[in-house]
Amino acid sequence: MSTVLITGAATGIGNHTARALSQAGHTVWASMRDPRGQDAEHRRELLDFAARHGGALRVVELDVTSQESADAAVAAVLRNGGDLDVVVHNAGHLYVGYTEAFTAEDVARLLDINVVGAHRVNRAALPHLRGRGAGTLLYVGSTILVTTPPFLGPYAASKAAFDTLAVATSYEVNPFAIETCIVMPGALTKGTRHFPDATRATDPAVSAAYAPLGPMVARNEEATSALFDPAADPGPAGVADEIARILSLPHGAKPFRSVVDYTEAGVEKVNEAARATREAFVRRLGFGELLAPRRPAVRTSR
């Protein structure tokens, strides 16, 4: 079993994943931005869950907008657990509104959380993973970079950048036997704080100029819900279960991408075409050896 650090575990997918992985036998470090303050209730709930159901589950402070915080969180895991095998990049924030109505500063802030935040955590964790010659980076991405629905422009852009950063990083960590997995959830309309906590566009004058589109915005969530199979449960538990399944697989058997999409948008077809094109291009460059992780070195005991 692995020692796993999860970012953004206060609610939603991260919270469910912490519970699922601890029940599967992993040692879980569930991180949240302010576990002794605004996230105190979420911290207590996770620790109470672990007390009731067993499993090794701890909470650590981690604000992905701070390199110092990311470094301190990884150091705490290593100091108290002795090792780190897996990082689950889940922290993120949602923007909803007309793209033009978000200021440049708004968009920069979102990219700082959703993209640069993962990079900060990688910079904190990768020295250890490279040193041990094994590990897994699991990114909770989104199908939105393929489907790109209206009224979520900055968020879709941030998830596309997050995905590209994950792919680019994978080339460079593969020689160190560090695996990369990108789990792509589709729309989830219940069981998370994603939409209730979303940031709305901050320029009211520009938003007013788009007033004719207001009825479409008003029925956006209803339109999304109509895409689900009535028997589906479009919540975060299914994503958490898929993450647990992936982490149960041996080195070399983990999928590079996995889609959990209750809207059945057909994202898998696009992923496969993109994968074949990308891999063929990288091979033509002469860098095919960077497309898959090496096998971990066999450790011998003395």
Mean confidence (pLDDT) of the chain? 93
pLDDT tens per residue across span 150-187: 999 999 999 999 999 999 999 999 999 999 999 999 98
Percent of the chain clearing pLDDT 90 (strictly above)? 84
pLDDT band per the 50, 70, 90 thresholds, residue 302: very low
Domains (ranges, CATH) in the chain? Answer: 3-290 (3.40.50.720)
Strand-pair partners of 260:
185
Structural tokens at position 152:
């979520």
Residue with tokens 């149960």: 248
> 243: burial class by Cβ within 10 Å (0-12, 13-18, 19+)?
buried
pTM: predicted TM-score of the whole model, two decimal places: 0.95
Which is nearest to 56 in space by CA: 2, 94, 114?
2
φ, ψ dihedrals at 286, nearest 5°: 90, 15
pLDDT tens per residue across span 267-301: 999 999 999 999 999 999 999 999 999 998 765 44
pLDDT tens per residue across span 225-253: 888 877 778 789 999 999 999 999 999 99
pLDDT tens per residue across span 56-87: 999 999 999 999 999 999 999 999 978 999 99
Which is nearest to 260 in space by CA: 245, 274, 249, 248?
245
Diameter over CA atoms, the chain = 73
φ, ψ dihedrals at 135, nearest 5°: 145, 175
Distance between CA atoms of residues 158 and 108, nearest Å: 10
pLDDT band per the 50, 70, 90 thresholds, residue 113: very high
Positions marked catalytic: 155
* 178 close to 137: Cβ distance less than 8 angstroms: yes
Specify the 3-state DSSP secondary structure of 107.
helix
